[in-house]
Amino acid sequence: MPFLIALAGKGGTGKTTLAGMLIKYLVGKGKTPVLAIDADSNANLNDVLGLEVADTLGNAREEMKNGNVPISMSKNVFMSMKLERAIVEADGYDLLVMGRPEGAGCYCAANNLLAGFMDRLSDNYPYIVMDNEAGMEHISRLTTKNVDLLLVVSDTSRRGLQTASRINELAKDLSVVTGKSYLVLNRANEALPDPTRNMIKNEGLELVGIIPEDSAVYEYDLNGRPTIELPHDNRAVKAAFMIFDTIIN
């Protein structure tokens, strides 16, 4: 059974950048192959990883719903083919972008088929890293596997922490987290002000670590350079790796 690590958080908190660092960490530790899943509707994990994406599973759902399956091909074979085409292979990991359907209507049949293929596919990977949007619906809808580790990423703003709290509660309501749920504060100072610490405590969030603000991360992103290429001695990478060391066996 693969170990599923999901990341979620308010937009702009650096969640996807942290997902890239986590993939970098797992590959560096030899915990390969890793399956990276971009389940954010605003998909950009491929940019963090420096990969080109040709297709998404959202497109497959759309084509199946619209009856674009070739007459000579069953829906099962069609979805299997689309799944294989959507996988982007890299060194030590593969990337799969979920995407989102553009049209209206029910995608239940396509989603059910995808869930089955995802189950079969995931057995080939010891670790899965899933980058989510603020909600956890992709996990409940498109996989049958529970989350072993949930990393809720936030900055130190009140809205960011409120979103983190809602995500944590939503994950509990959906009963998708079988392991631990942790808060990671990104772009923050280690000396947190008392109001921030009090809010974290009052919201029932478990802070596992802090990643400092780092100009190199911003410069990589600004120049369109994959942040997975950040050197190991970068202070943000070092802080992230220290967190991973404490929560991943």
Model pLDDT for residues 53-93, shown as the tens digit of each residue: 988 887 877 787 777 888 888 888 887 888 888 899 999 99
Among residues 151, 216, 215, 219, the alpha carbon closest in space to that of 185 is found at 151
Identify the residue whose tokens are 């290429």. Answer: 229
> Residues of the chain with pLDDT > 90: what percent?
56
Identify the residue whose tokens are 């529970």. Answer: 146
Cα separation, 218 vs 234, whole angstroms: 12
Q: Which helix (H) or strand (E) holds 186?
A: strand 177-186
Q: What is the pLDDT of residue 106?
A: 55
Q: What is the pLDDT of residue 175?
A: 83
State mean pLDDT over 184-193.
91
The model carries a pTM of 0.90
Q: Which helix (H) or strand (E) holds 120?
A: helix 108-122
Spell out the domains of the chain, with CATH numbers in brackets.
3-247 (3.40.50.300)
Q: What is the pLDDT of residue 144?
A: 40
Q: pLDDT class for 100, splitting at 50, 70, 90?
A: low
Cα separation, 229 vs 3, whole angstroms: 24
Side chain identity at 168, as an amino acid letter? N
Among residues 63, 94, 93, the alpha carbon closest in space to that of 81 is found at 63
What average pLDDT is seen over the chain? 87
Q: What is the pLDDT of residue 21?
A: 98
Among residues 177, 240, 233, 167, the alpha carbon closest in space to that of 208 is found at 240
